[in-house]
Structure 1
Amino acid sequence: MTAVCDIPGASLAIERSHFPDPAFDPAAAATVHEQTAVLAGGCFWCTEAVFRELDGVLGVTSGYSGDSADNATYEQVCSGGTDHAEAIAIRFDPHRISYGQLLKVFFAVAHDPTQVDRQGADRGRQYRSAIFHADAAQREIAAAYIHQLDAAKVFDAPIATGVVPLEAFHDAERYHQNYAALHPEQPYIAAVAAPKVAKLRKQFGEILKQKA
């Protein structure tokens, strides 16, 4: 990751005080108490930091998705020689926070979905925007929301986020997990992750975890 990451393409939507809710976001069955969402939106240090803040999120793991286990290492992924994206696996209680609400945060705060194979100064296919859906329900919610946001022209450019089947998720190396919280003084974290978390706290305070 580079030390500077701006997201100018998202400025219009991110500054709006009322980012639209998903119009299609059906409730999970009463018998379902945990689900997983796998999202890719650039540096996983930053996206992980955002989603750890949300009430109903049970855990977030940084990792890689899009290619095989054989090349799921940070060195190989950063080389650009794999088809992995830096991704996060979000375990959540769908009765406390819905899949659609997670996608709202993903599009409104976590990254710029209009950029192709990059996030600001971070360039390469590993930094692409993608939703790795686990089933037909997740695919339908994601596709409907992207269509809704594009039709409403929420962003200055079309959404480039891929909606693709989740083949596998590979955990990143241990030192990447919860990286932003453990290294707040790191320049990249201070410049990129911290402002996203601050924006989340300002715009989505009603769905954040309550501090003890």
Structure 2
Amino acid sequence: MHRDGENDAPIIEEHPAGLRERRRQETQRELSDAALDLFEQHGVHGTTVDDIARRAGTSQRTFFRYFATKEAAVFASADDSARVVGDAIDAVRAGASVVEGIERSWLKLLDRFDAHPDEHIRALRIRRLVGSEPSLLAVALRNEAEEVELLTDAAVDAAGADADVLAARAAVSTMALVLRLTIDEWVRRAELNERASVRQIYLEMRRGVATVARDLEADPPHNG
């Protein structure tokens, strides 16, 4: 892992998709955009799957090929997160530390986000909806919890008989917290019309958490 990450030029890996995959992505995005528009206009409870499919010019059957629920449709980028988590799991199983495997993968996603400012308004719209719709917040939290479980399992499996389950869970959960705090801070700045790199915010947040981690290495204070 690069300790001086702030001096490293971001590496953005893009792989051209075939025609069928591009069409799949387009349909998924059209459904997600329709859900986002309708949730903003009518709320989650006031919107049906049929409403979303009709707005996107397709059918309920097609909708359920892409999403299990109407709430899940807003999180079309979960596909990206799933790929990143998969990359992190592969890295950990190949011998990388938990922190290194997760960080290497998440930085690729953050770099892609920084490189596509046209996605920033959409990200803010989703965050506002998640903050106002409990059912969407529940999905977001469940997605994060599932990712933590998958990464913890990978770390434990990679360690074998010497696995420290609590340490693995603490490491993965801390990385998830750093990412969540990073996004929260990016949203806060964006709402104030402050331009900010999500990668740079992550590096700042990482330094703060590293300082806390060093403090935690000391013996805990005694009561009284």
Give the TM-score range, shorter chain. Answer: under 0.3
Length-normalised TM-score, structure 1: 0.27
Structure with greater Cα Rg:
2
Length-normalised TM-score, structure 2: 0.26
Higher normalized helix content (fraction of residues):
2
Higher normalized strand content (fraction of residues):
1
